[in-house]
Amino acid sequence: MASPVSVKTPPVAEKDYFTDRSVLLDPYDYFETIRVHGPVYQIGSREDVVIVTGFAEALEVLLNTRDFSSWLNPDPLTPLPFAVESDDISALLAATPSGEMELMVAYDGDKHAAARSLLNPLFTPSRLKANEAFMRTYADDLVRGAVTAGGCELVAEVATPFVTMVIADLLGVPADDREAFRQLIDDAPPPGNMDAPESQSIHPLMVMAGYFARYIAERRALPQDDVMTEMANAKLPDGSTPDAMEVVKSAMFLFAAGQDTSAKLIGNALRRLCEDQALQQTLREDRKLIGPFLEEVLRIEGSTKATFRIARRATSIGDTAIPAGKRVVISLSAANRDPRRWEAPEEFRLGRPRIREHVAFGRGAHTCAGAPLARAEVAVILDRFLEHTSAITLDEAHHGPADARRIAYEPSYIIRGLADLHVKFAPA
Ligand code: HEM
């Protein structure tokens, strides 16, 4: 008889953050195990990568744009096209695009400030107010439909179309094209998803770029009274007119940055409310608590697990020396659970003091441009769900009973979010 084969599971700290399926699906045990070794952890399997789990250290890196570049964002494993042969690779990084379609999140310094300024017409108080009016009406329609049906798969049927249309409205995408945008986003894999097919013919963002290129060219030729015209004619901080492609990329990047993140946050928040019926009822009775509730969800289960930097020059993080060229995974999830910063970090506490100091939206020059929008849209849809229901529960036919849940997360090293969430509604 053949002897049983023993499968050796690597100790959790030796698992690879980027490829180990158990870590991709559930990173929290992994973060706690590596935290024991200090707030900056050298990955065993990749000598050019460290992971930052400390809150203070994460802030240190996010705020230190002199020594850390965003060059490899959002693809932290992008190979360097040159050898690191000195203690300062700033000039080499600045001279080399990080990819074919380099986006604002990968820019540094003045180039970054210029790209970000192109978003200014979108985030004015009057534009956000108009967008909020759209999101209220649209959320109400979606939620009423789902509640009337008695249940839904929340991520695909409600959260994704909702956040996609909110960004389309913010940007002033013409009504006739919105359905095409929704379809494109539906088909796009979440960022950092290890299950995504290697060779997708044309990435959905490239297709969107085509639409935006046309809008911008049309508005530059024939200005209209709309937000797309304002974007098309926005000037750079030095007063010059940006290249049309830069405007296209800034607009398109909003879908890349704000779609999956917000849809997954809706899922993470609603799952928590399903699992804690008392909390759900408290929020239903006092909607002012939705804001603090969301902040604690962002802290304990924010939808962006990590962001990435590369050391431009020899430097340090806390007490750890960092050579030039070292890649840094800033684990926002781990920083938001650092026991040196948060009392009983694994506990969900509504009304935690100074909760808005969490780093779920990053910090510093690249801090999330869409954070006010994300907060508003998730709060609006939760409010509508609570308004139109007397109870929201997990559908046990899909997720199993309370003591044996089957919950699937996306296998992504960037996004923390549910692959699906089947819920049932008792109408109000
Ligand atoms: C819950 C939802 C969201 C989360 C958790 C989130 C998280 C983040 C984080 C952590 C960053 C910083 C990246 C870095 O430092 O490298 C970021 C950047 C950004 N986010 Fe968000 N985001 C969300 C929603 C949105 C939305 C709705 C939009 C816009 C419609 C948006 C637009 C952006 C932009 C433009 C940047 C890049 C800023 C820059 O590079 O200067 N985000 N986001």
Token pair of 297 as six digits: 């969800």
> What integer pLDDT is reported at residue 201 of this predicted model?
53
How far, in Å, from the CA of 303 to the mean position of ligand 1? 10
How far, in Å, from the CA of 80 to the mean position of ligand 1? 25
- Ligand 1, atom nearest to 70 Cα: 16
- Strand order of the sheet with strand 327-331? 40-42, 49-52, 327-331, 306-311, 68-69
Query: Running along the chain, 428 residues long, what does each successive block of 10 average in pLDDT?
Result: 48 85 94 96 92 98 98 88 95 85 89 92 88 96 98 96 92 87 72 58 75 92 88 89 90 88 97 98 98 98 97 97 97 98 98 97 97 96 98 98 95 96 98
Closest among 51, 81, 67, 415 to 264, alpha carbons compared: 415
Non-local CB neighbours of 402 within 8 Å, separated by 6+ positions: 275
Which superfamily does CATH assign the domain made up of 5-427 to? Cytochrome P450 (1.10.630.10)
Cβ of 191 below 6 Å from ligand 1: no
Given CA atoms 143, 146, 148, 151 in this order, what sign does their dihedral have? negative
Packed helices 371-388 and 277-285: angle between N→C axes, nearest 10 degrees: 100
CA distance 422 to 267: 10
How far, in Å, from the CA of 370 to the mean position of ligand 1? 6
State the number of CA atoms in the 13 A half-sphere of 386 facing the CB: 23
> What integer pLDDT is reported at residue 190 of this predicted model?
61
CA distance 184 to 182: 5
Strand, helix or coil for residue 390: strand
As a residue count, the chain comes to 428
Cβ of 258 below 6 Å from ligand 1: yes
CA distance 400 to 180: 35
Query: What is the bridge-based pairing of β-strands 327-331 and 389-394?
Result: unpaired
Cβ of 336 below 6 Å from ligand 1: no
Residue nearest to atom 29 of ligand 1 (CA): 370
Residue nearest to atom 31 of ligand 1 (CA): 370
Token pair of 224 as six digits: 């209209």
CA distance 12 to 23: 9
Domain definitions of the chain by residue range: 5-427
Cβ of 261 below 6 Å from ligand 1: yes
> What integer pLDDT is reported at residue 2 of this predicted model?
41
CA distance 69 to 109: 9
Cβ of 369 below 6 Å from ligand 1: yes
> What integer pLDDT is reported at residue 8 of this predicted model?
55
The model's pTM: 0.93
* Partner residues linked to 51 by β-bridges: 41, 329
Cβ of 265 below 6 Å from ligand 1: yes
Residue nearest to atom 32 of ligand 1 (CA): 370
Q: Ligand 1 pocket test: which of 181, 361, 375 has the largest number of ligand atoms within 8 Å of its C-beta?
A: 361
How far, in Å, from the CA of 349 to the mean position of ligand 1? 25
> What integer pLDDT is reported at residue 6 of this predicted model?
45
- Ligand 1, atom nearest to 377 Cα: 27
**Structure letter (DSSP) for residue 151:** E
